Amino acid sequence: MTLLDVSIVNVALPSMESSLGAGSSEVQWIVAGYALAFGLVLVPAGRVGDLYSRRLLFVVGLAGFVLTSAAAGLVQSATALAVVRLAQGVTAGLVNPQVLALIQQLFTGAERAKAFGLFGTTIGLSTAIGPLLGGGILAVFGEAQGWRGVFLVNVPIGLVLLPLAWRWLPKQGRARTAGRLHLDVVGLLLLAAATVFAMLPFVLTTGEDDPPARWWFLAPGLALLAAFAGWERREERRGNQPVVAGELVRTGSFSVGALVGIAYFAGFTGIFLVVTLYLQTGLGLSPLQAGLVQTPFAIMSAVFAQVGGREVSRRGRPVVVVGLVVVAVGLGAADVVSAAVQGTAGAIALSACLAVAGAGSGLVISPNQTLALADVPRAVAGVAGGVLQTGQRVGSAMGVAATTAIFFSTLAAQGSSESVFGEALSDGLRVSLGLVLLALVLAVVDLRRRAGHRPARDGAPDGGAAGHRVD
């Protein structure tokens, strides 16, 4: 639900604008506020969950998400909706790090890889199926008020999950070092501020009229990030527990996995917004029809996430490399098709290309998370998951900003005919393809590094399970 709310809202924005009389700045914050608050909370929530109780943080976050979803569906003004979306993002950020940490805590070996496979399935489905679900809700409840159903659909699901989570999730003893509990509040505040300033210019990028001054937010973001790194080293030298432990940063598998995740999510997430804009605005499809075109991506991603979760424990990093190659092939084909074929035939061909990319995506997301967390101590699993997901949120914001900026710049320069929309989509997809290729380069470099430093054991391929056993 928490990840679905990132993508499902896009197709309902026109309905919100007409129903609430929302202006462009309010619409911007309805979308951006959720993403900002979500990214802001992930690492602090992971750290607090590690120290206190992952179950408690999960249940509190889920309860808050249900309440804010209900509030979002009942508000009467665009300003109120933007404020509620900020609160909803905070509650979503409380939930997600606990999921990865609980997988680390409850599973080992091949079972852990399978669990990450299921988690990867939910990520792929939530991102790709959002437009379909949103379009379906609008079709059932009508364009005028259907946007309310986009939020209210979370309420019954959450109410079912809450008692199950409280009953079945394990209790957790408090993590203690030398008999005391330490929460690095200064480090948390520095990281939170750095995250906000780093993400702001990207989440505020929505079209050709965006103010260039937004990029100045990056300067304090980088300064705060440097201050955070210095503070964390100071805390570690003093024998305190920093927010992000030095051993976590120095774990090669984690660092590479985080970088691959940032690059891949930058390329992966930006696809769906420009595809939705092309299908609805360029080809004139309804939200439901646009969602159906993108559904094969979700289906193939779900199927191959199970394959990836099973194979990564045996083959390791090569699974991710193969997945990235397949995604690149699918996006390359979509690039060619979108520029050459329009109309219904173009939509069908684009759907087939997205199916190929979805198959590759299933081999990337969960296997990469499995490998990134394979060597992470369970005591810091929550903060590790928070760091990974913060990187994914930052990467997503960067990718969406880059692809939409290129998309709108092409339309501004050449007009708004159907063929120009195809060219704009092609240009946006090339940005996504470039980011996916960057992730591929990082994965291949890591694979070669492992092959050069670790001799292959009999019966296991180089750089695979021999070089990176998941346990």
The reply to whether 362 falls in a domain is yes
Distance separating the N- and C-terminal Cα atoms of the chain:
29
The reply to whether 464 falls in a domain is no
pLDDT at res. 255: 86
pLDDT at res. 207: 62
| Cβ atoms 13, 103 nearer than 8 A | no
pLDDT at res. 177: 45
- What's the sign of the alpha-carbon dihedral 40, 188, 382, 253? positive
The reply to whether 466 falls in a domain is no
Task: Look at residue 75 and give its three-state secondary structure.
Answer: coil
Tokens for 237? 């030298």
How many angstroms separate the CA atoms of 416 and 432, rounded?
A: 22
The reply to whether 397 falls in a domain is yes
| Cβ atoms 260, 435 nearer than 8 A | no
Which residues span the domain enclosing 72?
4-169+183-453
Cα maximum dimension of the chain: 68
pLDDT at res. 88: 94
The reply to whether 471 falls in a domain is no
Question: What DSSP string describes 296-365?
Answer: HHHHHHHHHHHHHHHHHHHH-HHHHHHHHHHHHHHHHHHHHHHHH--HHHHHHHHHHHHHHHHHHHHTTH
How many angstroms separate the CA atoms of 361 and 320, rounded?
A: 9
The reply to whether 259 falls in a domain is yes
| Cβ atoms 364, 324 nearer than 8 A | yes
Number of domains in the chain: 1
Question: Which residues face 180 on adjacent strands?
Answer: 177
Q: Write the CA distances from 110 to 114, 246, 256, 367, integer angstroms.
A: 6, 27, 21, 11
CATH assignment of the domain containing 332: 1.20.1250.20
Q: Write the CA distances from 234 to 220, 237, 307, 350, integer angstroms.
A: 21, 5, 43, 52
The CA radius of gyration of the chain, in Å to the nearest whole number, is: 22
The reply to whether 328 falls in a domain is yes
Q: Which residues of the chain have pLDDT under 70?
A: 24-25, 28, 124, 127-128, 172-182, 206-209, 416, 450-471
Question: Which residues face 177 on adjacent strands?
Answer: 180
Q: Write the CA distances from 369 to 47, 74, 185, 308, 383, integer angstroms.
A: 18, 37, 27, 11, 14
pLDDT at res. 206: 64
The reply to whether 460 falls in a domain is no
Tokens for 285? 């499809």
The beta-carbon contacts of 105-111 under 8 Å, at least 24 apart in sequence, are 105/54, 105/170, 105/172, 105/378, 105/381, 106/170, 108/471, 109/313, 109/470, 109/471, 110/310, 110/313, 110/470
Residues 117, 135, 301: CA angle, nearest 5 degrees? 20
The residue with tokens 């990134």 is: 372
